[in-house]
Structure 1
């Protein structure tokens, strides 16, 4: 009996697939895979390999078999860092010079400030897909809000992407009033989250699923930007319980401990002064016993969230080992900026939003569903040690972050060469022997670190090569051992300062008055940088937190239009009360005059 052709065709396809799976290894594409893992708001010393308290054995194992960078800088905010990471270009040249939450109206829509990748800007996914790679991503995107601006428009075959700056880690909902919901997109189409969602687990699940659904004959590029440890800080209870009591002594003790470990690990020179504190830093002992317990618990959740991320990274590593792909995979692990200083208990609009959405900031179920976790500025400054300050600012605590590279041909080593986040893309391309000029996109501005990784050079930068970064007025420029930096309000004062980082990595002693010639040269280099990449001046009197409140307030009313009626009612009531009071005063004065 003959088999019908309709049944024969699927059988032949399946047989061909089996033949392909059993094909000799010599016919397989031998080019390395690439996995980029990006933590959100992790400080230089947060991973165990850098001396952190959280258990991160999988990240530490990658550091142990690869290159651990100690002088690597990102930008002070997430979107610019992500744009530079994926494109190898300065953020102003990509269209994402800052984040929309802090963007003033004077810059809105200007070149470099479109808040989405501009035409001609190619990502690593664009470039590698053109070379035959399959390209996947899962996690936070935050480089555009429209469906047409999601990863599928920038070289990714499969993607599950969060368009916002963050979102809840347990539920399908927003974490701040700027966003009405959590804007997740799968392959450019709005998507919902599963009932059992937890962000770090979900990101790895999606990556493994996408790898199974794409052509196994091709090497892959996987981009995994995690939500850990962005606010709201949330983690499974089994991880939180491991850190009980770990932070009970407070942030001053953690600062000193990390400063000592930084010296012992060679992250800073022996005897380097402790980093300067930001203004209005609260003393641990000034808090009530109840508040100290609350803040210690928040930091426990923060460490647990890091460990949970590492645990799920371990699941991906085990999957790659089981499928025989681990040894031929390049791993890059980093963070987008320093730790998050924002509080969840000192902003009226955020309090209104928390009430509207059912969030709480108390001790009950800390880190679980419904808990809006944060660590605040004091823990952020302590975590950022040995650097000064934290996220938002181009101080060392805001932009000096970890970088680990491991993979074929990379020997275990400590790398002290300067490196910038724009250097990752050109490094990957050279590693894979891909000519950046092979694609017709805008030119890459970063430098390949391969000469350093291979041992052919001590540094990718010479003593006269300036490196600069600017985000919403917060600026830094490096030249040799020196750095100039400027921080805008509310924490900064807008003044330029000069530091010798070789002796003073904590930025404690301003040399601008004692070394005017160096200061002038570096300011000149910075002026040339701003002209070259198109930095716009900040409006007079710009304060990033004031701008955030303006932008968030406008979005809050847009997201919840019925608040107009509520606020209008309050305003009318207030005006009526004032009118009645004034009328009563006038009547009383007339009576007194009549008497």
Structure 2
């Protein structure tokens, strides 16, 4: 027995030593890599004729490594923050980390995005224009046309995948919003999820926004439960996750470079910030958006961010004059901006923790830290007054100032889902005129950017004014890391990279710009840039659902952006030939990059059937679900809006059972069919403004039951009411009226669940939302 134990110990020692032996034999063949074809092909396996391994010599282990000296890459992307928001770019929001990195690095004042989140992100992560990526808009408004399908083509490979196959560790944290919504389910395919698009690690949310206090989080492709911490905030959580991942990666493989994509949900609505950060700005916006806008321009001039002759572009007529507002309007609007500013500063603080961790690891000198202040301009989607609950806007419900003032003290906290008024969006985009969604104005597309790389950038605190674009990030990273954009991936020829590396500008401030031609288009807002000249048409404002005029009747303007930083002086009348030249060029570029045909529909494009977008439910009128099915997006859950429907559940319960049978949505709108203290109840939560409850008077007896909720829709249009009826084992148990319903959407981040209610709760369950009985199946049937 002792001999056996000795043998086992020696075997284990041998096993533990084995990796060390392999490591000692490992040999890089970097000089022989063909990095233009991925995956990099391994050498042919050697053939042996020797019988005994003791008499043969093993070849050196082959492994792909990154080019020698390749730096770590960190790309930080803030959401919905305009050019004139941050203190580094003259704005009123204190962002000291951005300032520090800018003072130690270089800042770009003519960097551009696409005017909307998904398109900007796919362009950043690939180096190709958004239409080339089939991302004409957000994934939720994809259509059947090339350039707009929402499905990345095989001829474009994400930068993360290129770096991963070239020896980098890769990780993404925060917002992704590149996965088509019909692919966000267990059925997949998972090809366009982060961990199948080049990222070894993903921790964040898949959709366009999330509740910062109670987010829906994925770790890889696994849906996680929100941590039950009263002090929880997602930006802090994602920062902790990123720091832990970097430390772990560096502890294990310190010689292996990493790529981190750190994309905050902030400062996209809902504007959620810790109270102490909101309180920092108390009273600091009482002067209103007009004065804030003017003050920002003056600071921008002092900082050298804009030329001394720059003017404020004329403010759109839809935006009210601050001085003409009522006292209540001023009070509420100021509070909205205090919250947004606190949100922005808190985000910068968390990015500071991320950078401090890099310094603590001793790798800051050879880490390229790219800090992009916004994926588009500031958002005007709060329309003229802002909202307590963003989903009121999507469901056509108008909130009054008095409605919002009821939530004044809790604005930005867990009981609100707020967005500010469009006047603040225009101010945060100073000195420009328009906002997010308006791709034809720099207010929608120009964002501040800082690049910090002590080993590779000599200048400190300098401004770079070359025209640059979000498609330039990937080719910049490729040049820095000495990794070429691939010509072939998995045997598929790749499209030529469309962005232009910015490395030429790093240490040559007056260098002639190399990205000299760029089109812009979003929902019919379109423009053409060439060598400083800029032709554009304003087709629709970011706070409006309808275009100003038809695509054929749009009025084009012309600007010399080299002399007119803010696009204030339309010179079309003086330069008709130049305007015509750029209009012709736009059509040529639009054809080349799959921009045509232009689809300027907004709300219509959310209807999958209308635009021939995949819809997992299709024409189905009945679906049966089971316990454990949760986190179901709108596109993968049967639609019960604007129609009659029946929910039938088969359960097995004990006395006084509790928990959710099925629900969709959350605190700010949704429905839940559940059992509380043994009694079946149906609650319809109308936008967090009003709840309708239909309950059984009697508790269920222990045992098996069939519980049915039947809703008869009134009809006569969208968002109407109806009558709800509960039955237990065929016997009527309760009935009641639901006076109104949500016609468009409950939530993009509080999803549908069976047997629980993850995220924010639809209603107060008086305990755990998890169903404590046995839930056999739940069938939902709609009646057209």
Q: Does 1:33 align with 2:48?
A: no
Provide the C-alpha distance between the structure 2 equivalents of 1:289 and 1:575, rounded to a whole number of angstroms.
36
Q: CA deviation at 1:130?
A: 1.2
Question: Aligned match of 1:64 in 96, 103, 108?
Answer: 103
- Structure 1 range deviating more: 285-294 or 228-237: 285-294
- Structure 1 range deviating more: 556-565 or 85-94: 556-565
Q: Provide closer, same or farther for how the CA distance between residues 524 and 130 of structure 1 changes in structure 2, counting only shifts above 3 A.
A: same
Q: Does 1:571 align with 2:716?
A: yes
User: Could you say which residue in structure 1 is the equivalent of 2:456?
Assistant: 409
User: Could you say which residue in structure 1 is the equivalent of 2:576?
Assistant: 516
8 A contact 1:557–1:563 mirrored in 2: no
Provide the C-alpha distance between the structure 1 equivalents of 2:643 and 2:393, rounded to a whole number of angstroms.
14
Larger fraction in strand: 2
Q: CA deviation at 1:34?
A: 0.5
User: Could you say which residue in structure 2 is the equivalent of 1:154?
Assistant: 197
Question: Aligned match of 1:444 in 494, 497, 500?
Answer: 497
Question: Aligned match of 2:518 in 467, 471, 486?
Answer: 467
Q: Does 1:476 align with 2:527?
A: yes
Q: Provide closer, same or farther for how the CA distance between residues 300 and 574 of structure 1 changes in structure 2, counting only shifts above 3 A.
A: closer
User: Could you say which residue in structure 1 is the equivalent of 2:484?
Assistant: 435
Any unmatched runs of 5+ in structure 2? 24-64, 185-189, 541-545, 616-633, 645-710, 723-784
Q: Provide closer, same or farther for how the CA distance between residues 574 and 385 of structure 1 changes in structure 2, counting only shifts above 3 A.
A: closer
Q: CA deviation at 1:264?
A: 2.3
Any unmatched runs of 5+ in structure 1? 21-26, 173-181, 577-595
Q: Does 1:397 align with 2:443?
A: yes
8 A contact 1:473–1:537 mirrored in 2: no
- Structure 1 range deviating more: 380-389 or 264-273: 264-273
User: Could you say which residue in structure 2 is the equivalent of 1:136?
Assistant: 171
Q: Provide closer, same or farther for how the CA distance between residues 347 and 436 of structure 1 changes in structure 2, counting only shifts above 3 A.
A: closer
Q: Provide closer, same or farther for how the CA distance between residues 251 and 221 of structure 1 changes in structure 2, counting only shifts above 3 A.
A: same
8 A contact 1:48–1:55 mirrored in 2: yes
User: Could you say which residue in structure 2 is the equivalent of 1:189?
Assistant: 222
Provide the C-alpha distance between the structure 2 equivalents of 1:270 and 1:333, rounded to a whole number of angstroms.
25
User: Could you say which residue in structure 1 is the equivalent of 2:214?
Assistant: 171
Question: Aligned match of 1:453 in 506, 513, 524?
Answer: 506
Structure showing greater relative contact order (alpha-carbon pairs closer than 8 Å, 6 or more residues apart):
1
Q: CA deviation at 1:442?
A: 2.8
Provide the C-alpha distance between the structure 1 equivalents of 2:443 and 2:414, rounded to a whole number of angstroms.
30
User: Could you say which residue in structure 1 is the equivalent of 2:156?
Assistant: 121
8 A contact 1:279–1:491 mirrored in 2: no
Provide the C-alpha distance between the structure 1 equivalents of 2:636 and 2:317, rounded to a whole number of angstroms.
32
Give the alignment's TM-score, normalised by structure 1.
0.84
- Structure 1 range deviating more: 69-78 or 46-55: 46-55
Q: CA deviation at 1:452?
A: 1.4
Provide the C-alpha distance between the structure 2 equivalents of 1:218 and 1:574, rounded to a whole number of angstroms.
59
Q: Provide closer, same or farther for how the CA distance between residues 354 and 160 of structure 1 changes in structure 2, counting only shifts above 3 A.
A: farther
Question: Aligned match of 1:282 in 299, 312, 320?
Answer: 320
Aligned to 1:112, the other structure's residue is in SS state coil
- Structure 1 range deviating more: 478-487 or 331-340: 478-487
User: Could you say which residue in structure 2 is the equivalent of 1:244?
Assistant: 282
Aligned to 1:327, the other structure's residue is in SS state helix
Q: Deviations over 1:120-174 (max 9, x none)?
A: 32111111111100000011111113241211111110112322111111113xx
Q: Provide closer, same or farther for how the CA distance between residues 293 and 556 of structure 1 changes in structure 2, counting only shifts above 3 A.
A: farther
Aligned to 2:283, the other structure's residue is in SS state coil
Larger fraction in helix: 1
For these two proteins, the number of residue pairs brought into alignment is 549
Q: Deviations over 1:501-522 (max 9, x none)?
A: 2333222332222210110111
8 A contact 2:90–2:305 mirrored in 1: no
Q: CA deviation at 1:320?
A: 1.4
Q: Provide closer, same or farther for how the CA distance between residues 165 and 14 of structure 1 changes in structure 2, counting only shifts above 3 A.
A: farther
User: Could you say which residue in structure 2 is the equivalent of 1:587?
Assistant: none
Provide the C-alpha distance between the structure 1 equivalents of 2:570 and 2:239, rounded to a whole number of angstroms.
45
Question: Aligned match of 2:468 in 419, 425, 439?
Answer: 419
Q: Provide closer, same or farther for how the CA distance between residues 136 and 300 of structure 1 changes in structure 2, counting only shifts above 3 A.
A: same
Q: CA deviation at 1:352?
A: 7.8
Q: CA deviation at 1:524?
A: 1.6
Provide the C-alpha distance between the structure 2 equivalents of 1:352 and 1:47, rounded to a whole number of angstroms.
32
Q: Provide closer, same or farther for how the CA distance between residues 274 and 562 of structure 1 changes in structure 2, counting only shifts above 3 A.
A: closer
- Structure 1 range deviating more: 62-71 or 549-558: 549-558
User: Could you say which residue in structure 2 is the equivalent of 1:304?
Assistant: 342
Provide the C-alpha distance between the structure 2 equivalents of 1:562 and 1:518, rounded to a whole number of angstroms.
51
Question: Aligned match of 2:12 in 9, 12, 20?
Answer: 9
Aligned to 1:499, the other structure's residue is in SS state strand
Give the alignment's TM-score, normalised by structure 2.
0.65
8 A contact 2:161–2:197 mirrored in 1: yes
